[in-house]
Chain A
Amino acid sequence: MGHQRRLRIKTLVVVCAMVICATVGDLLLKRGMMQIGAVQLTAAGLAHTFRMTLESGTIWLAIFFLIGFMLSNMTVLSWADYSYVMPASAIGYAVVVFMGMAVLGETVSPWRWLGVALICAGVLLVGHTNPRTTEAAR
């Protein structure tokens, strides 16, 4: 397998890990905060919320996935261009729309489908460029 092909596959695998970790982390965070309920903006309310978040398994699972996102983001940026990784990871917006429709049964407007199509086209175009155009900094 050629060096370029290996680089492209490695980059896409880590970008996919980034997108999955960010999407699952955000969904779990949302679910965890819904279980805790609306935050009261008083000292007692904030202290109560803080205690509840520490005791919530869902929030800890969300934090685990968000740490996975941060680590995969740092890892991929150690070899790939920022101008490649950043737009490629925007596919997460499309994944959220698909998941909303498939898992939650949400209705997606034609306008939003147009946005998803533009994101997918943009990610495809960026995906066809060289993931790394600079040498490692010294």
Chain B
Amino acid sequence: MIRAALMLGVLIFAGSAGEIAVTHGMKRVGEPARLRPWALLQFLGRALRNGWFWTGVPLMALSFYALLVLLSWEPISFVIPASASSYAVGTLGAKYFLGEEVNGKRWLGVLLVCAGVAIVAAG
């Protein structure tokens, strides 16, 4: 049970940290000039040269690996609902590391999504 809890922690925290690093990287890269193929290719080229992007990718890969390991230990009806708390962890990370303004309405929305995803996955 302890090893499953530890692996769940890796899944949630590495996944959220990876997404936050990628988000920070994308904010530094800046948005594409237009949503057209050439502008998107130029945007992708800039993104692939960003260090934060390459910090986030291994963390997300680690999170994915933790998901695979956890799925081999525990039933999916436990793993996916338990990992739904990553929405709340990610929101905390966005608030404290990215400086995003998370008001009461957004928090309520995030918590409803957490509960909904857990129920859909368990149901």
- The chain A residues found within 8 Å of chain B, CB to CB, are 10, 14, 71, 74-75, 77-79, 81-84, 86-87, 90, 93-94, 97, 109, 111-112, 114-130, 133-134, 136-138
Contact = CB atoms under 8 A, between A and B. Distances in A.
13 contacts: A74-B47, A77-B22, A78-B30, A82-B94, A83-B91, A84-B100, A118-B113, A122-B111, A122-B113, A122-B116, A126-B110, A133-B100, A138-B28
Given A86-B19, A124-B109, A134-B98, A78 B26 contact: yes
Nearest to B103: A129
Given A81-B98, A121-B116, A126-B105, 7 more contacts: A78-B31, A81-B100, A82-B98, A84-B100, A90-B87, A121-B109, A136-B28
B64 interface: no
Contacts, number: 150
B118 to A, nearest CB: 7
Contacts of A118: 112-113, 115-116, 119
Interface size class of B (residues with CB under 8 A): 35 or more
B100 A83 contact: yes
B19 A126 contact: no
Interface of B: 19-20, 22-24, 26-32, 35, 40, 43-44, 47, 53, 87, 90-91, 93-95, 98-103, 105-106, 108-123
Contacts of B31: 75, 78-79, 136
A61 to B, nearest CB: 19
Contacts of A117: 116
Chain B binding surface SS class: helix
Contacts of B94: 81-83, 86
B10 to A, nearest CB: 19
A90 B117 contact: yes
Contact of A78 (B43, B121, B122, B123): B43
Contacts of B102: 83
A120 B119 CA distance: 13
A130 B106 CA distance: 9
B106 A129 contact: yes
A75 B46 CA distance: 12
Given A75-B32, A90-B116, A119-B120, A125 B40 contact: no
A117 B40 CA distance: 35
B87 A87 contact: yes
Contacts of A75: 26, 31-32, 35, 40, 43
